[in-house]
Structure 1
Amino acid sequence: MSVRTRIALVSDTHMPHRGKDLPKALFEGIAGVDLILHAGDWTAPYVVDLFASIAPVDGVTGNNDDAEIYSRFGRRKLLTVDGTRIGLVHGDGFARPTEETARRSFSKEDVDLIVFGHSHTPWKGELNGVLLFNPGSAMDKRREPRYSYGILEIGSSGFTVKHSYYSDKT
């Protein structure tokens, strides 16, 4: 597949509580992407500028974000990038697994991929015929062995999405 567009997928940075700057491994890993999509829980507006120093940024609000982030991004969005329809949502909700909450957020839309966060757990799978992807957390791995983010590559014959991992967030 000839790659036309590379998109970094991040979530749950929880800054500055989990660090004041982007980890070197994350910064280097997403350098050169065409777009960065953040699935919420930025927790500080300056984080947008950190990512914007790398590439254009879009995102959604997570359950830990304030009104400034909400007014800038909203809670959910549907984007079409290079012909691929991407649903973006944080995924917080009640009484169901995060991936089910994310899928229900776009149950009435025709999407190719849903990107979500909230659980801090890297996850990739299909629900009701739609690919879902949680990049995990770039700054707060909780019970996971490593920090993570995702890379979405869109090309002439479709798209691929994969996790990237790192152990040191300095």
Structure 2
Amino acid sequence: MQLVILSDTHMPKKAKQLPKRLVKELQEADLIIHAGDWQTLDVYEELKQYGRVEGVYGNVDGEDITKVFPRSQILELNDYRVGLVHGHGDKKTTEKRVIEEFEGEEIDLIIFGHSHLPLLRFVKKTLLFNPGSATDKRRLSHYSFGKISINDGIHAEHIFYDSFD
């Protein structure tokens, strides 16, 4: 199962269209996961053209999005449990908040966003993955999104690029 992971698209404020590098990967995805801060449902409508989309809402998303997507969810993918949450909240670091969100659950992978900072690391036996932002790199040198393969194990990587072309 091939996943494309994105978060913090903030469209149309930060981009008018999805970057070409991302679109290329969306065409091959079995599942698209968005970890919140869509900004508008238009992003969801566009992603749906490429396949099944799962997601959660983020702190900048309005009622139109919170009616469609939950704050967090757990997906069962090829016998792996995948936690999905944006990661916003008060106090603590984003990482600590996302770990606490799934406290008491056996989770193999937690996908989150909010910080716009790409992250790939284990905390005990749980893989934490933040794809960064495909459209709002902030002070980082590159835009990014993620690709995850879930078959006999989980293989995650970031795709980095410099422009939307």
| Alignment deviations for residues 70-104 of structure 1 (CA, whole Å, 9 cap, x no partner) | 11111100010111110000001122221111111
Does structure 1 residue 38 correspond to structure 2 residue 40? no
8 Å Cα contact 1:32-1:55 kept in structure 2: no
Identity among equivalent pairs (%): 42
- Aligned partner of 2:15 in structure 1 is 19
| Alignment deviations for residues 35-89 of structure 1 (CA, whole Å, 9 cap, x no partner) | 0000000000110011111111010000000111111111100010111110000
- Aligned partner of 1:86 in structure 2 is 82
| 1:117 positional shift | 0.1
Q: Which letter does structure 2 place at the counterpart of 1:21?
A: Q
Structure 1: 5+ residue runs without aligned partners?
A: none
What is the TM-score normalised by the length of structure 2? 0.96
- How does 1:8-157 map onto structure 2 within 5 Å? 8-155=4-151, 157=152
**Per the alignment, in what secondary structure is the counterpart of residue 158 of structure 2?**
strand
| 1:159 positional shift | 1.4
Q: Distance in 2 between matches of 1:117 and 1:96?
A: 15
Cα RMSD, aligned residues only? 1.0
What is the TM-score normalised by the length of structure 1? 0.94
Q: Which letter does structure 1 place at the counterpart of 2:58?
A: G
8 Å Cα contact 2:108-2:125 kept in structure 1: no
Aligned length: 165
